[in-house]
Amino acid sequence: MRILTKEIANKEDQKVELMGWVATRRDHGKIIFIDLRDASGVAQAVFIPKDKDLYQLAYTLRQDWVIKISGVVKKRPAGMENPDLENGRFEIQAESLEILSQSETAPFPLDTDGYEINEDIRMKYRYLDLRRGRLQKNIRLRSRFIQSIRSLLSDKGFIEVETPILGKSTPEGARDYLVPSRLEPGKFYALPQSPQQYKQLLMVSGFEKYFQIARCFRDEDTRGDRQPEFTQLDIETSFMSEEEILDLTEQFCLEAVKKAFPNKKIKEIPFPRLDYGEAMKKYKSDKPDLRKDKNDPDELAFAFVVNFPMFEWKETEKRWDAVHHPFTRPKTEDIGEIKKNPEKIMAFQYDLVCNGYEIGGGSLRSYKPEILEAVFEVMGHSREEIKKQFGHLLEAFEFGVPPHGGIALGLDRLMAILLNEPNIREVIAFPKTGDGRDLMMSAPSEINPKQLDELNIKIKDKK
């Protein structure tokens, strides 16, 4: 039965079976050495001329062929150990070899960190790029970090709930990705920009403590280090104050980082609380980099930025918009003041920043329908539009809604910081390019006219 390469250190003088990829083949005199790579690491196998057929078969092996080797685990001769490998004191004296599949020559080297390779070709052959040791490490540490978060929040009484991917298009800030309905021609679903309304409805449902590793979708223009789809840790709670939510966020960040990245040094605990106005005045930024030594890759300078304005003026659109989103609770319940002086209204809004990046944002939510309606009116929505777009939420708020709030952390950005990567594409298994294309799958792509007919959709001429 197959074992992993990392296990051979416990199998001295035993016959084992390994399966994986040929990492390298080295011919030293009459001896052939094969480094076999699997998900756990690398093991060295030795082939000698004594068995001519086995030896000749080993001689044909090439990089990235998939093979099965059987043999006896032995200690390497003195002076031949490899201290860089976990099992570098042992090797397999091969007794059988089977070629499971062959491989074409890869379009780029896989034994480097990959930064020197054109990103477009890396994205086109992402399934090969992911064999790279650096990316294997990144994706595995991402998994470990997310598992730590799941465990920590579950221990604190949070319930993980999956919310719908197919929802309703509502004005929440970014442009929606739309999905046409075949069964109701002319009508559309929207992919969620975030689970915002669903998680608030879960608070109406009485779950009180919700979280989700949520996929989010935003059809934005090209904006550098952004992705059209991304992953966030989404949290919502009932009956908790802003300070309690910030304390909770700090606690699980500290515990998760400690579990998955014990080498990281956190600059200040508890995380500093920076007033938005003071941060802008002192640092000229609402996401300041507070590290003492910005060249130290293991230093993490977390901070909360609080007391944001509720509204901001959109000059190009000549209207007020919510700084965070319209569901944020203003720091006043005076509806007349909200409508009359929107520029003076502050919000129960907070961001989590780290090393000069915003990695999370949240707020206490408006749970009184009249406050929510006033906010939408300030943003330029008519009562008819409000009822059409958000009537489901306002109706739910008539059935005993608790005060609630939450926060969402961008896991892609946080992982890029923790792994010292230059962009989020290095910590996502199958990312899009900066302009939103999937070069590996050739997406977006044109659709078969028959599918368009079924959806009652016609493509306009490109003129």
CB contact burial 234-271 (16+ within 10 A = b; e otherwise) = bbbbbebebeebbebbbebbbebbeebbeeeebbeeeb
Determine the Cα–Cα distance for residues 165 and 192; give it in Å rounded to an integer. Answer: 6
142 shares a domain with 88: no
Whether residue 286 lies inside any domain: the answer is yes
State how far the alpha carbon of 56 is from the alpha carbons of 32, 218, 462, in Å. Answer: 10, 55, 60
- Does a structural domain hold residue 341? no
Name 365's bridge partners: 328
Place of tokens 């600059």: 267
Q: What is the CATH number of the domain that holds 29?
A: 2.40.50.140
Rounded CA separation 191/196 (Å)? 12
Of 415, 401, 405, 410, the closest CA to residue 246 belongs to 405
Q: Are 54 and 61 in contact (CB under 8 A)?
A: no
Q: Is residue 374 part of a domain?
A: no
Question: For residue 271, is it within any domain?
Answer: yes
Query: Based on the domain organization, do 241 and 166 belong to the same domain?
Result: yes
Residues in the chain: 463
Q: Tell me: do 166 and 256 sit in the same domain.
A: yes
Residues 23 and 60 in one domain: yes
Are 149 and 198 found together in one domain?
Answer: yes
Same-domain status, 63 and 95: yes
Kindly state whether residue 45 falls inside one of the protein's structural domains: yes
3-class DSSP state of 136: helix
- Asked if 60 and 92 sit in the same domain, the reply is yes
User: pLDDT (tens digit, 0 to 9) for every residue of the chain, 463 residues total?
Assistant: 999 999 999 999 999 999 999 999 999 889 999 999 999 999 999 999 999 999 999 999 999 999 999 999 999 998 889 888 888 999 999 999 999 999 999 999 999 999 999 999 999 999 999 999 999 999 999 999 999 999 999 999 999 999 999 999 987 668 999 999 999 999 999 999 999 999 999 999 999 999 999 999 999 887 778 899 999 999 999 999 999 999 999 999 999 999 999 999 999 999 999 999 999 999 999 999 999 999 999 999 999 999 999 999 999 989 999 999 899 999 999 999 999 999 999 999 999 999 999 999 999 999 999 999 999 999 998 888 888 889 999 999 999 999 999 999 999 999 999 999 999 999 999 999 988 999 999 999 999 999 999 999 999 887 6
Q: Write down the pLDDT at residue 317.
A: 86
Output the pLDDT for position 163: 98
What is the reported pLDDT for 234? Answer: 98
Domain residues for the domain of 97 are: 5-101
The answer to whether the beta carbons of residues 232 and 216 sit under 8 Å apart is yes
> Does one domain contain both 211 and 143?
yes
Q: In the chain, how many domains are there?
A: 2
| CATH code of residue 407 | 3.30.930.10
Examine the domain organization and report whether 257 and 297 are in the same domain.
yes
